[in-house]
């Protein structure tokens, strides 16, 4: 290790410069809001706080709009309907306040990008920003101006179906990707007709859901809440996310829709957020089954006290707020505060000046730019997990490929969860891409073997094996159907469904090299399958252009550069398994696995450390892991100092060299660990990363800055502290491998 001399900081791990969002009450916007509030009846104010799902131009809906009893509509898609409803709101309601139309545009509207977990595997925020921008351009053409994204729940549980929609297990990576999505959705100017208001969701700790079961309870100590689950939301405030959505779960017994501490003390008072907070779908009425409200009226009361501005599909506010205000249980000031947040959003979106959407003759979908960016995103989202004997990329000597597996030609499934508006006929599948783009190079024999991922019928296996026998290489596209991940799609067993493992084994028996390509909404437990396969590409659900992206990677037109955004367990029983774990008092050592233990061994013969007898202590693949077609060497770790003061930055650098024979991109990762502190701290935590492209033989110096804030943590007394003592820093290719050095903070 060498010391850096007065190095300049090239890369700052700080996500954004912070800016206060507290509105200035004297601004002209606030004056206009005050003017509205002074003229609105209580009923009209409560109307603004009501969001319902679209009912077209039904009498029920037009009546509500005309009477000013609704502030927002979700899931209305037809531009003419949207314009007509808007016309009624603006021209026929007494206050003339425009509506705002929302929809879940999670990873694309028509042109679908990889699922967010896949985008996170790119470790390239530009990928996420591009995806969100394209989604905004496409969706806003229908009149939708608000998306319920990004989902920035940190999660360490691959059983949870919504892991697909998340950016994985790490607060820093989730923050960076979430901020990039907010930028993409909102663009440079929120009031532009092509901008969508982003919605940071689900506030908060939804990803900690017990046993990975959706909507389940969470128990999160304050220090963990602050260190792990809240940072992406704080980053979203700093990135000026226009709206927030509360989560369904309770945290330590208090559901988010009734959580004053979270929504008021933290979000408003500490973070000075002045955007709008919407409930999740029916989350206010769900306070009743949660067991903290006896009826809908009490639910409305608790949500209003907790600062939920808008009730999504709950009817709690419309049915009960008026009486609650009249009885004095809820103050009109609280109502005004909520309506103020809603009107501010509508002003910021430019809806008062420009409420309508121009209906276009040709919808701006699937533009060349959109498809090219989706293609690129899908390439960057794929992680190469194994490549025995460099079977990939396929060389010219490969003349015939067998294209097998239920995901090889599944246009809807490759899109993944949360794409209500997608059109699978626009998906290009791996089979189609190979047949189309690489037909000159190879002969393709296609036999799916199984018709869908859960298919257990072995009848097609013989045909797939016959195809494999005629081929030089087998490309086996396995995984999960789209419907197996997403909201309420949790799984207790996360292996490849159906008879896919049997099919893989049968293919392997042919003696032909087998490339396993997994398209799934979550990490699957594929230990056995990885052992069988010669090469493994983990592609998540890659979206519209998943096929061309995979074909390019398989045939070597593109080089894999993805890294895992979440730890892959060997067995589901290891969950939760994540790299930023605590060391424990007895970290794993001298691991004896279950089959190594002699029969009749004494209880005391095999040691007493922290691991599973049947899985050991390591994951199948660690966070941050991913191979390339080239190789990288890390050397020359340098620190600006081995001792810093509490108010000083530390600069760290190393050299990364491409030691292979192909151009490749590498995600260089920075981790730190606090070795001795007043609370047991994670063994290491990601603090920065950058993706660099290197030509064969080329070296680059990569520098990072570590700020005092990044070395701080929330202590037992709920204070953010930086404690003196010894720290370790790593720069490397994954959470499990890197150059390391120690430093201390005085
Ligand atoms: C989900 C949200 C989503 C909302 C509206 C809820 O069930 O939890 O993430 O935005 O529905 O569709």
SS (H, E, C) 25-81: CCCHHHHHHHHHHHHCCHHHHHHHCEEEECECECHHHHHHHHCCCCCEEECCCCHHH
Task: Please tell me the distance between residue 434's alpha carbon and the centre of ligand 1 in angstroms.
Answer: 36
pLDDT in tens, 627-643: 999 999 999 999 999 99
Joined tokens for residue 200: 């940071």
Q: What is the DSSP string of 623-636?
A: TT--B-SS-EEEEE
How far is residue 121's CA from residue 306's CA, in Å, rounded to a whole number?
36
Domain boundary among 316, 348, 380: 348
Query: Is residue 468 over pLDDT 50?
Result: yes
Residue 33 lies in a domain: no
Do 375 and 449 lie in one domain? The reply is yes
Joined tokens for residue 515: 């490339």
Query: Is residue 15 over pLDDT 80?
Result: no
**Tell me, what CATH number does 434's domain have?**
3.40.50.1700
Joined tokens for residue 398: 């490969």
Do 497 and 385 lie in one domain? The reply is yes
How far is residue 220's CA from residue 249's CA, in Å, rounded to a whole number?
11
Query: Is residue 702 over pLDDT 60?
Result: yes
Do 344 and 384 lie in one domain? The reply is no
Do 415 and 507 lie in one domain? The reply is yes
Mean pLDDT of 182-188: 98
**Residues sharing a CB contact under 8 Å with residue 322, sequence separation 6 or more, in sequence order:** 42, 43, 46
Catalytic-residue membership of 280: yes
Mean pLDDT of 335-346: 98
Task: Please tell me the distance between residue 199's alpha carbon and the centre of ligand 1 in angstroms.
Answer: 11
pLDDT in tens, 553-594: 999 999 999 999 999 999 999 999 999 999 999 999 999 999
Mean pLDDT of 45-51: 98
Task: Please tell me the distance between residue 345's alpha carbon and the centre of ligand 1 in angstroms.
Answer: 20
Domain count, the chain: 4
Do 514 and 398 lie in one domain? The reply is yes
3-state secondary structure of 525: coil
What pLDDT, on a 0 to 100 scale, did the predictor assign at position 395? 87
* For ligand 1, mutation pick of 76, 101, 146, 148 (most atoms within 8 Å of CB): 148
Residue 550 lies in a domain: yes
Residue 579 lies in a domain: no
How far is residue 389's CA from residue 514's CA, in Å, rounded to a whole number?
12
- Orientation angle between helical segments 59-66 and 79-87, nearest 10 degrees: 40
Residue 615 lies in a domain: no
Q: Quick check: CB of 476 below 6 Å from ligand 1?
A: no
How far is residue 392's CA from residue 383's CA, in Å, rounded to a whole number?
13
Query: Is residue 5 over pLDDT 50?
Result: no
- Residue closest via CA to ligand 1's atom 8 equals 280
Note the pTM of the prediction, 2 decimals: 0.96
* SS3 sequence of 269-303: HHCCCCCEEECCCCCCCCHHHHCCCCCHHHHHHHH
Q: Give the strands of the sheet with 72-74, arranged side by side.
A: 146-147, 100-103, 72-74, 50-53, 311-312
Residue 400 lies in a domain: yes
Residue 473 lies in a domain: yes
Helix (H) or strand (E) holding 517: strand 514-519
Do 383 and 341 lie in one domain? The reply is no
Domain boundary among 101, 126, 141: 101
Mean pLDDT, all residues of the chain: 96
- Residue closest via CA to ligand 1's atom 4 equals 281
Task: Please tell me the distance between residue 247's alpha carbon and the centre of ligand 1 in angstroms.
Answer: 9
Task: Please tell me the distance between residue 346's alpha carbon and the centre of ligand 1 in angstroms.
Answer: 21
What pLDDT, on a 0 to 100 scale, did the predictor assign at position 187? 98
Query: One of 153, 227, 280, 311 is an active-site residue; which one?
Result: 280
What pLDDT, on a 0 to 100 scale, did the predictor assign at position 25? 54
Task: Please tell me the distance between residue 281's alpha carbon and the centre of ligand 1 in angstroms.
Answer: 6
**Tell me, what CATH number does 656's domain have?**
2.60.40.10
Mean pLDDT of 609-620: 97
Q: Tell how far CA 558 is from the center of its chain.
A: 24
pLDDT in tens, 282-317: 999 999 999 999 999 999 999 999 999 999 999 999
Which residues form the domain of 282?
259-348
Greatest extent of the chain over all pairs of C-alpha atoms, in Å: 85
pLDDT in tens, 233-276: 999 999 999 999 999 999 999 999 999 999 999 999 999 999 99
Residue 673 lies in a domain: yes
What pLDDT, on a 0 to 100 scale, did the predictor assign at position 24? 53
In angstroms and rounded to an integer, the radius of gyration of the C-alpha atoms of the chain is 27
Domain boundary among 101, 122, 143: 101
- Residue closest via CA to ligand 1's atom 10 equals 148
How far is residue 322's CA from residue 335's CA, in Å, rounded to a whole number?
10
Do 324 and 460 lie in one domain? The reply is no
Query: Is residue 209 over pLDDT 80?
Result: yes
Atom of ligand 1 nearest to the CA of 247: 8
Total count of residues recorded for the chain: 746
Do 300 and 382 lie in one domain? The reply is no
- Residue closest via CA to ligand 1's atom 5 equals 281
Q: Quick check: CB of 487 below 6 Å from ligand 1?
A: yes
Joined tokens for residue 668: 């260089």
Q: Quick check: CB of 201 below 6 Å from ligand 1?
A: yes
Bridge partners for 277 per DSSP: 244
User: Rounded to whole angstroms, what are the CA distances from 266 to 200, 233, 508?
Assistant: 15, 11, 55
Query: Is residue 20 over pLDDT 60?
Result: no
**Alpha helix positions (H), 93-240:** 116-121, 125-140, 171-186, 222-224, 231-238
Joined tokens for residue 33: 């809001």
Mean pLDDT of 520-548: 98
What pLDDT, on a 0 to 100 scale, did the predictor assign at position 743? 98
Residue 614 — φ and ψ, nearest 5°?
A: -105, 5
Do 510 and 395 lie in one domain? The reply is yes
How far is residue 115's CA from residue 416's CA, in Å, rounded to a whole number?
6
Do 422 and 528 lie in one domain? The reply is yes
**How many other β-carbons are positioned within 10 Å of the β-carbon of residue 20?**
10
CB distance 710 to 599 below 8 Å:
no
Do 402 and 500 lie in one domain? The reply is yes
Strand 664-674 versus strand 725-734 pairing type: antiparallel
Residue 163 lies in a domain: no
- Residue closest via CA to ligand 1's atom 2 equals 280
Do 269 and 414 lie in one domain? The reply is no
């Amino acid at each position: 290790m060498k010391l850096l001399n007065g190095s300049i900081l090239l890369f700052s791990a700080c996500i954004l410069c912070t800016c206060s969002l507290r509105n200035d009450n004297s601004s002209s916007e606030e004056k206009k809001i005050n003017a509205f509030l002074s003229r609105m009846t209580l009923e009209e104010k409560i109307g603004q706080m009501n969001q319902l799902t679209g009912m077209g131009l039904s009498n029920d809906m037009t009546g509500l709009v005309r009477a000013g009893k609704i502030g927002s509509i979700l899931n209305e898609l037809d531009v003419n309907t949207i314009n007509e409803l808007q016309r009624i709101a603006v021209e026929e309601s007494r206050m003339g306040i425009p509506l705002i139309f929302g929809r879940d545009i999670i990873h694309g509207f028509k042109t679908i990008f990889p699922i967010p977990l896949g985008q996170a595997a790119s470790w390239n925020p530009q990928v996420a920003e591009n995806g969100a921008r394209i989604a905004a351009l496409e969706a806003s053409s229908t009149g939708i101006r608000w998306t319920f994204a990004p989902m920035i729940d940190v999660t360490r549980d691959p059983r949870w179906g919504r892991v697909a929609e998340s950016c994985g297990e790490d607060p820093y990576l989730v923050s960076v990707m979430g901020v990039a999505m907010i930028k993409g959705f909102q663009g440079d100017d929120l009031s532009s007709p092509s901008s969508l208001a982003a919605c940071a969701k689900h506030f908060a700790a939804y990803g900690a859901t017990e046993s990975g079961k959706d909507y389940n309870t969470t128990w999160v100590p304050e220090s963990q809440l602050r260190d792990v689950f809240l940072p992406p939301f704080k980053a979203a405030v700093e990135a000026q996310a226009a709206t927030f959505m509360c989560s369904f779960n309770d945290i330590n017994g208090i559901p988010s829709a009734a959580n004053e501490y979270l929504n008021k003390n933290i979000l408003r008072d500490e973070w000075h957020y002045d955007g709008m907070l919407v409930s999740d779908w029916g989350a206010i009425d769900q306070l009743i089954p949660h067991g903290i409200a006896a009826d809908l009226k009490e639910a409305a009361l608790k949500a209003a006290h907790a600062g939920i501005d808008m009730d999504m599909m709950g009817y709690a506010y419309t049915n009960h707020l008026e009486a609650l205000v009249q009885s004095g249980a809820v103050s009109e000031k609280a109502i005004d505060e909520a309506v103020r947040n809603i009107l501010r959003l509508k002003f910021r979106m430019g809806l008062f000046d420009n409420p309508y959407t121009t209906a276009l003759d040709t919808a701006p979908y699937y533009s060349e730019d959109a498809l090219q960016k989706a293609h690129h995103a899908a390439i960057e989202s794929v992680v190469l997990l194994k490549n025995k004997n460099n079977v990939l990329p396929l060389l010219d000597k490969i003349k015939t490929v067998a294209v097998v597996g239920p995901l090889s030609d599944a246009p809807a499934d490759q899109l993944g969860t949360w794409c209500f508006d997608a059109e699978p006929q626009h998906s290009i599948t791996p089979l189609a891409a190979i047949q189309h783009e690489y037909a000159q190079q190879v002969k393709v024999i296609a036999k799916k073997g199984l018709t869908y991922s859960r298919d257990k019928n072995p009848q097609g296996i013989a045909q797939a094996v016959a195809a494999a026998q005629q081929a030089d290489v087998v490309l086996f596209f396995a995984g999960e159907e789209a419907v197996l991940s997403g909201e309420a799609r949790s799984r207790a067993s996360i292996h490849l469904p159906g008879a896919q493992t049997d099919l893989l084994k049968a293919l392997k028996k042919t003696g032909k090299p087998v490339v396993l390509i997994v398209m799934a909404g979550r990490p699957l437990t594929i230990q056995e399958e990885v052992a069988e396969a010669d090469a493994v590409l983990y592609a998540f659900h890659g979206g519209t252009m998943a096929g061309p992206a995979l074909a390019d990677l398989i045939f070597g037109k593109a080089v894999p550069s993805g890294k895992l955004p979440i730890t892959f367990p060997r067995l589901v029983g290891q969950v939760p398994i994540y790299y930023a774990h605590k060391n424990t008092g007895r970290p794993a050592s001298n691991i004896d696995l279950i089959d190594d233990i002699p029969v009749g061994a004494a209880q005391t013969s095999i040691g007493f450390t922290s691991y599973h007898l049947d899985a050991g202590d390591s994951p199948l693949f660690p966070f941050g892991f991913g191979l390339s077609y080239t190789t990288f060497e890390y050397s020359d770790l340098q620190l600006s100092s081995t001792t810093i003061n509490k108010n000083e930055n530390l600069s760290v650098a190393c050299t990364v060299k491409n030691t292979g024979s192909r151009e490749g991109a590498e995600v260089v990762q920075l981790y730190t660990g606090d070795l001795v502190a007043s609370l047991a701290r994670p063994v290491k935590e990601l603090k920065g990363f950058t993706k660099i492209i290197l030509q064969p033989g080329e070296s680059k110096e990569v520098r990072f800055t570590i700020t005092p804030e990044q070395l701080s943590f929330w202590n037992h007394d709920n204070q953010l502290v930086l404690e003196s003592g010894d720290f370790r820093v790593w720069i490397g290719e994954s959470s499990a491998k890197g150059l390391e050095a120690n430093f201390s903070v005085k």
